[in-house]
A = this chain, B = another copy of it.
Protein backbone atom coordinates (compact mmCIF):
# COMPACT_ATOMS: atom_id res chain seq x y z
CA UNK A 1 0.00 0.00 0.00
CA UNK A 2 1.16 3.47 -0.86
CA UNK A 3 0.56 5.84 2.03
CA UNK A 4 -1.62 8.79 1.10
CA UNK A 5 -0.92 12.18 2.57
CA UNK A 6 -3.91 13.59 4.40
CA UNK A 7 -2.72 17.18 4.18
CA UNK A 8 -2.47 19.55 1.26
CA UNK A 9 1.07 19.41 -0.09
CA UNK A 10 3.17 22.02 1.63
CA UNK A 11 5.13 24.06 -0.84
CA UNK A 12 8.87 24.08 -1.09
CA UNK A 13 8.74 27.60 -2.44
CA UNK A 14 10.18 30.31 -0.20
CA UNK A 15 7.47 31.50 2.15
CA UNK A 16 8.06 35.17 1.42
CA UNK A 17 7.50 36.36 -2.14
CA UNK A 18 10.89 37.50 -3.34
CA UNK A 19 9.69 39.93 -5.96
CA UNK A 20 6.68 41.04 -7.95
CA UNK A 21 8.53 41.08 -11.23
CA UNK A 22 6.66 39.17 -13.94
CA UNK A 23 9.48 36.67 -14.32
CA UNK A 24 9.26 35.80 -10.64
CA UNK A 25 5.50 35.63 -10.69
CA UNK A 26 5.57 33.28 -13.68
CA UNK A 27 8.25 31.10 -12.15
CA UNK A 28 6.54 31.01 -8.80
CA UNK A 29 3.22 29.99 -10.37
CA UNK A 30 4.86 27.34 -12.48
CA UNK A 31 6.75 26.07 -9.49
CA UNK A 32 3.55 25.71 -7.50
CA UNK A 33 1.71 24.01 -10.35
CA UNK A 34 4.53 21.54 -10.78
CA UNK A 35 4.52 20.88 -7.06
CA UNK A 36 0.87 20.05 -7.27
CA UNK A 37 1.03 18.00 -10.43
CA UNK A 38 4.24 16.10 -10.17
CA UNK A 39 2.67 13.60 -7.85
CA UNK A 40 0.92 12.18 -10.90
CA UNK A 41 4.00 10.49 -12.25
CA UNK A 42 4.83 8.45 -9.18
CA UNK A 43 1.17 7.61 -8.72
CA UNK A 44 0.87 6.32 -12.27
CA UNK A 45 4.15 4.47 -11.88
CA UNK A 46 2.77 2.86 -8.74
CA UNK A 47 -0.43 1.89 -10.53
CA UNK A 48 1.59 -0.20 -12.93
CA UNK A 49 4.07 -1.30 -10.28
CA UNK A 50 6.79 0.37 -12.32
CA UNK A 51 9.57 2.26 -10.52
CA UNK A 52 10.17 5.66 -12.11
CA UNK A 53 13.59 4.69 -13.45
CA UNK A 54 12.16 1.67 -15.24
CA UNK A 55 9.35 3.79 -16.64
CA UNK A 56 11.87 6.25 -18.03
CA UNK A 57 13.89 3.46 -19.60
CA UNK A 58 10.78 1.98 -21.16
CA UNK A 59 9.72 5.27 -22.73
CA UNK A 60 13.08 6.62 -23.73
CA UNK A 61 14.46 3.40 -25.15
CA UNK A 62 11.39 2.23 -27.04
CA UNK A 63 11.64 4.78 -29.89
CA UNK A 64 15.32 4.10 -30.54
CA UNK A 65 15.71 0.42 -29.69
CA UNK A 66 17.74 -1.63 -30.11
CA UNK A 67 20.47 0.42 -28.42
CA UNK A 68 23.72 -0.38 -26.61
CA UNK A 69 23.57 -0.14 -22.85
CA UNK A 70 26.01 2.77 -22.79
CA UNK A 71 23.45 4.75 -24.72
CA UNK A 72 20.91 4.09 -22.00
CA UNK A 73 23.36 5.20 -19.32
CA UNK A 74 23.80 8.37 -21.32
CA UNK A 75 20.07 8.95 -21.70
CA UNK A 76 19.47 8.37 -18.02
CA UNK A 77 22.51 10.42 -17.06
CA UNK A 78 23.63 7.67 -14.73
CA UNK A 79 26.62 5.38 -14.39
CA UNK A 80 26.81 2.36 -16.67
CA UNK A 81 26.90 0.01 -13.70
CA UNK A 82 23.32 0.95 -12.84
CA UNK A 83 22.07 0.04 -16.25
CA UNK A 84 23.08 -3.56 -15.68
CA UNK A 85 20.72 -3.94 -12.74
CA UNK A 86 18.01 -1.83 -14.31
CA UNK A 87 18.02 -3.94 -17.46
CA UNK A 88 18.29 -7.11 -15.36
CA UNK A 89 15.06 -6.33 -13.55
CA UNK A 90 13.23 -5.23 -16.67
CA UNK A 91 14.42 -8.31 -18.53
CA UNK A 92 13.15 -10.51 -15.70
CA UNK A 93 9.77 -8.82 -16.08
CA UNK A 94 9.88 -9.58 -19.77
CA UNK A 95 9.91 -5.92 -20.83
CA UNK A 96 13.37 -5.82 -22.38
CA UNK A 97 15.69 -8.22 -24.09
CA UNK A 98 19.49 -8.37 -24.41
CA UNK A 99 20.87 -9.15 -27.84
CA UNK A 100 24.48 -9.42 -28.88
CA UNK A 101 25.82 -7.10 -31.55
CA UNK A 102 27.18 -9.23 -34.36
CA UNK A 103 29.87 -6.77 -35.34
CA UNK A 104 31.18 -5.93 -31.88
CA UNK A 105 30.70 -8.70 -29.40
CA UNK A 106 31.35 -6.42 -26.43
CA UNK A 107 28.05 -4.68 -27.09
CA UNK A 108 24.67 -5.79 -25.79
CA UNK A 109 21.81 -4.32 -27.75
CA UNK A 110 18.70 -3.68 -25.69
CA UNK A 111 15.40 -4.30 -27.41
CA UNK A 112 11.88 -3.70 -26.09
CA UNK A 113 9.74 -6.82 -26.17
CA UNK A 114 6.18 -6.99 -27.39
CA UNK A 115 5.07 -7.05 -23.73
CA UNK A 116 7.20 -3.97 -23.06
CA UNK A 117 5.58 -2.07 -25.91
CA UNK A 118 2.12 -3.14 -24.78
CA UNK A 119 2.83 -1.89 -21.27
CA UNK A 120 4.18 1.38 -22.61
CA UNK A 121 1.00 1.89 -24.61
CA UNK A 122 -1.19 1.22 -21.60
CA UNK A 123 0.78 3.70 -19.51
CA UNK A 124 0.69 6.22 -22.35
CA UNK A 125 -3.07 6.09 -22.49
CA UNK A 126 -3.24 6.55 -18.75
CA UNK A 127 -0.91 9.54 -18.83
CA UNK A 128 -2.64 11.24 -21.71
CA UNK A 129 -5.74 11.92 -19.63
CA UNK A 130 -5.54 15.50 -18.33
CA UNK A 131 -5.45 15.54 -14.53
CA UNK A 132 -8.38 17.17 -12.72
CA UNK A 133 -6.86 20.65 -12.25
CA UNK A 134 -6.40 20.92 -16.02
CA UNK A 135 -9.62 19.24 -17.01
CA UNK A 136 -11.50 21.60 -14.71
CA UNK A 137 -10.47 24.70 -16.67
CA UNK A 138 -12.66 26.24 -19.33
CA UNK A 139 -11.70 25.61 -22.94
CA UNK A 140 -10.61 29.23 -23.17
CA UNK A 141 -8.37 28.92 -20.12
CA UNK A 142 -6.94 25.70 -21.52
CA UNK A 143 -6.08 27.39 -24.78
CA UNK A 144 -4.47 30.32 -22.96
CA UNK A 145 -2.44 27.89 -20.87
CA UNK A 146 -1.30 25.88 -23.87
CA UNK A 147 -0.26 29.07 -25.62
CA UNK A 148 1.63 30.49 -22.65
CA UNK A 149 3.44 27.20 -22.12
CA UNK A 150 4.16 26.95 -25.81
CA UNK A 151 6.24 30.09 -25.48
CA UNK A 152 8.27 28.38 -22.77
CA UNK A 153 8.83 25.36 -24.97
CA UNK A 154 9.86 27.58 -27.86
CA UNK A 155 12.43 29.39 -25.74
CA UNK A 156 15.88 28.47 -26.78
CA UNK A 157 17.49 25.77 -24.63
CA UNK A 158 19.94 26.65 -21.87
CA UNK A 159 22.82 25.77 -24.19
Chain A: residues with CB nearer than 8 A to chain B? 2-8, 10-15, 18-19, 22-34, 36-38, 55-56, 59-60, 63-64, 73-79, 124-125, 127-137, 139, 141-153, 155-158
Contact = CB atoms under 8 A, between A and B. Distances in A.
A158 B142 contact: no
B32 A63 contact: no
24 contacts: A3-B74, A8-B157, A10-B60, A12-B55, A13-B127, A19-B128, A23-B142, A26-B145, A26-B149, A27-B129, A27-B131, A27-B134, A28-B128, A29-B150, A30-B145, A33-B149, A34-B38, A38-B38, A133-B152, A136-B155, A144-B148, A145-B149, A145-B152, A148-B149
Given A29-B146, A33-B30, A60-B12, A151 B127 contact: no
A37 B18 CA distance: 20
B146 A26 contact: yes
Q: How many copies does the complex hold?
A: 2
Contacts of A29: 145-146, 149-150, 153
